[in-house]
Amino acid sequence: MRRSLYREYRPQTFAELVGQDHVARTLRNAVETDAVAHAYLFTGPRGTGKTSTARILAKALNCVGDPEGSVTRPTPEPCGRCRHCVAIAEGVSLDVVEMDAASNRSVDDVRDLRDKIAFAPVDGRCKVYIVDEVHMLTREAFNALLKTLEEPPADVVFVLATTEPHKVPETIVSRCQRFDFRRPTVTDIVQLLASIVARENARPAEERGGPAIEIDDEALHLIARHSQGGFRDAIGTLEKLVTFAEGRITAREVLHALGATSSELLFEALDIVIDRRPTEALQFVQRLAAEGVDYAQFIRDLLRHLRQLFLLQHLEEAAEDEATLRVLGQTVELDGELFEQHLQRAHQIDPREVVFFMETLGQAQRDIRDGLDPRLQLELALVKVTAPRLDHGAAALEERLRRLETALAGGGRGAEVDAAPPAAAAAAAAPGDQPPLTLERVRRAWELVLQRVQHASVPLYAMLREARPVRLEGDLVTVAMASEVAVRSAREGGNAGVLATALSETLGRPLRAEFAFRGDGAGDGEAAGAEQATAPGAGPGSAAGAAGAGGPAPGPAAPEAAAPAAADAGPGEAAAGPAPAEGLPLDFTDIIRQAKGVLDAEELPDDS
């Protein structure tokens, strides 16, 4: 069985340490000038090279060079070929003792180690004790180690490694030379991964055990960012992808293997917040549930995405042009490949809104860690930032006032509507204030539409499970079905009116619906003879427009449903255009109640 890549490509000399030049330089000089301390404390995040550096130091102290023993003193450049270097690299040297403090943490373990320190080295010049995760030792074990650590034998060196230095007693820290290992940059990790790929591809195929590794630069950057500064995590991810991918490793395969969120989804969530569309925010979360996305991971990815936007907005103040902005972005690890998309959205949202969004997601993260439902916390966070009027906190009140001030200063109406009470906001909203309806928005809302259809007509819901919206012309939505039999069945009994009502209630505007067979070119605008229906409240103008355009007359259900609205409207209202759909939610609370009713009535899979 071959060794893992992270073990195969461990650094073997001080020169091979990546991103820790301050540590390598100090230890190299200490060995060269015979000024090696009796105890070191290596601190830093996981996977940054603490244990590997301790092994390199042990090699430098015990290396003898060629078989004749030409090296008679410690050397800053261990050969890697003598018996001591080979034994230390393979972890079988009797003079290098690695102890895991997480499992050997008692005072008896430390006493046993203390008793063996007095013995001379078996074969080398020095005995090196590497205590990993030293912060896990008990208080009694630390006390037992104090005297030995302060005055060890001349041929003994201690290396204590920890990821949590604040848990190590000050009496221990004061007896050691401390080195803080820095978290490597994305560029450092990408360069290391690229060198590993090149070295693997240079090996013979029988040694490599598979085809040559082909990987995109974007995939390398995704792996580096996902590793969060850990070399070991990054190399382990690369090895997993080598076995996962069938051929070239692309960014899409990296996202799929890591369970990370694609940039398209993150930009879509940001667009929903920029346009302040709470209804689509809930539909977006429903799509995440249908795709099996982990909510906590999505929040983490969205926060990283917002950080890019946050940094870009503030760096832009100091940049004279886009070229300077790109250079400044590299200093804070901005994603260069998505620079244009981030810059476009940075001009569409106020920096304070970005901060408010990040704070809200941070609170959602804390609530999820406390055991609350992840899906509910994500829904609450998105609703709070798209409709601050629903949040009575001080931060939300400040955000509502800011939006109102912005609207008054710019003569706009968006913030006024948002800051007003729900009923007043709904009454004040004009058709032009709504975001434009696109086919993509209809497709994203299709699952919620089907849930409304299920409550109105179960047979129609069964027929529409395999159907998809394929065209949007004005207020007419064309739904393509898989067979002609299904189309004929759907055109009976006022089913088009039921679907039109569901579409209108979900998307918040009057819409009509028609059914077409996929084989008739429904996706190309040729669905002739398909049944159309107008939702209640779409108004006679919409039906008349359809008839004037040569479309079929509305089904019997449409006039009956639209008649009350037409009768109640005055002449002036009729001339002004279609009236708002009767029964459409004028308060976001209605949407929440409807969604709750759906969840109570339908048995959904467990999202946790």
Measured between alpha carbons, how far is 116 from 138 in angstroms, rounded to an integer? Answer: 20
- The string of pLDDT tens digits covering residues 321-354 is 666 666 666 656 666 667 778 778 888 888 888 8
Measured between alpha carbons, how far is 285 from 349 in angstroms, rounded to an integer? Answer: 22
Mean pLDDT of the chain: 77
Looking at residue 537, its pLDDT comes to 45
Q: Which of 386, 402, 421 is the last residue of a domain?
A: 386
Do 139 and 39 lie in a common domain? yes
Give the confidence band of 320 by pLDDT, cuts at 50, 70, 90. low
Give the confidence band of 362 by pLDDT, cuts at 50, 70, 90. very high
> Is residue 248 a part of any domain in this protein?
yes
Give the confidence band of 156 by pLDDT, cuts at 50, 70, 90. very high
Do 356 and 462 lie in a common domain? no
Looking at residue 37, its pLDDT comes to 92
Looking at residue 368, its pLDDT comes to 92
Do 233 and 118 lie in a common domain? no
Secondary structure in 3-state letters for 385-420: HHCHHHCCCHHHHHHHHHHHHHHHHHCCCHHHHHHC
Looking at residue 52, its pLDDT comes to 92
Do 358 and 289 lie in a common domain? yes
Give the confidence band of 376 by pLDDT, cuts at 50, 70, 90. very high
- The string of pLDDT tens digits covering residues 284-293 is 999 888 888 8
Do 221 and 90 lie in a common domain? no
For the chain, give the percent of residues with pLDDT over 70. 74
Q: What is the mean pLDDT of residues 104-125?
A: 86
Q: Which of 159, 180, 201 is the last residue of a domain?
A: 180
On the question of pLDDT at 43 being above 70, the answer is: yes
Measured between alpha carbons, how far is 579 from 507 in angstroms, rounded to an integer? Answer: 15
CA distances from 474 to 183, 533, 545 (A): 54, 14, 10
Measured between alpha carbons, how far is 460 from 315 in angstroms, rounded to an integer? Answer: 54
> Is residue 608 a part of any domain in this protein?
no
Measured between alpha carbons, how far is 316 from 328 in angstroms, rounded to an integer? Answer: 9
- Of residues 150 and 536, more confidence is placed in 150
- On whether the CB atoms of residues 12 and 80 are closer than 8 A, the answer is yes
- 546: domain CATH number is 3.30.300.180
3 state DSSP class of 397: helix
> Is residue 400 a part of any domain in this protein?
no
> Is residue 603 a part of any domain in this protein?
no
- On whether the CB atoms of residues 598 and 451 are closer than 8 A, the answer is yes
Which residue type occupies 141?
A
> Is residue 267 a part of any domain in this protein?
no
Looking at residue 277, its pLDDT comes to 86
Least confident of 27-41, 305-319, 349-363: 305-319
Do 225 and 157 lie in a common domain? no
> Is residue 43 a part of any domain in this protein?
yes
Do 220 and 112 lie in a common domain? no
Do 293 and 233 lie in a common domain? no
Q: What is the mean pLDDT of residues 235-240?
A: 88
Least confident of 39-53, 114-128, 234-248, 412-426: 412-426
Looking at residue 41, its pLDDT comes to 94
Domain with 495 in it: 439-568+578-590
On the question of pLDDT at 8 being above 90, the answer is: no
Q: Which of 258, 289, 317 is the last residue of a domain?
A: 258
- The string of pLDDT tens digits covering residues 472-527 is 998 899 999 888 888 888 888 788 888 999 888 888 888 999 989 876 555 444 33
Count of domains observed in the chain:
4
Report the predicted TM-score, pTM, of the whole model to 2 decimal places: 0.58
In the sheet that holds 127-132, the strands lie side by side as: 96-100, 127-132, 156-162, 39-43, 177-180
Extended beta strands in 270-416, E state: none
> Is residue 584 a part of any domain in this protein?
yes
- 286: domain CATH number is 1.20.272.10
Do 202 and 148 lie in a common domain? no
Which residue type occupies 346?
A
Do 27 and 83 lie in a common domain? yes
- On whether the CB atoms of residues 498 and 453 are closer than 8 A, the answer is yes
Count Cα neighbours of 470 within 13 Å in the Cβ-side half-sphere: 22
On the question of pLDDT at 530 being above 80, the answer is: no
On the question of pLDDT at 592 being above 60, the answer is: no
Looking at residue 569, its pLDDT comes to 39
Looking at residue 160, its pLDDT comes to 94
- On whether the CB atoms of residues 231 and 239 are closer than 8 A, the answer is no
Do 317 and 454 lie in a common domain? no
- Of residues 318 and 110, more confidence is placed in 110
> Is residue 406 a part of any domain in this protein?
no
Residue 488: both structure tokens together: 């004929």
Do 586 and 443 lie in a common domain? yes
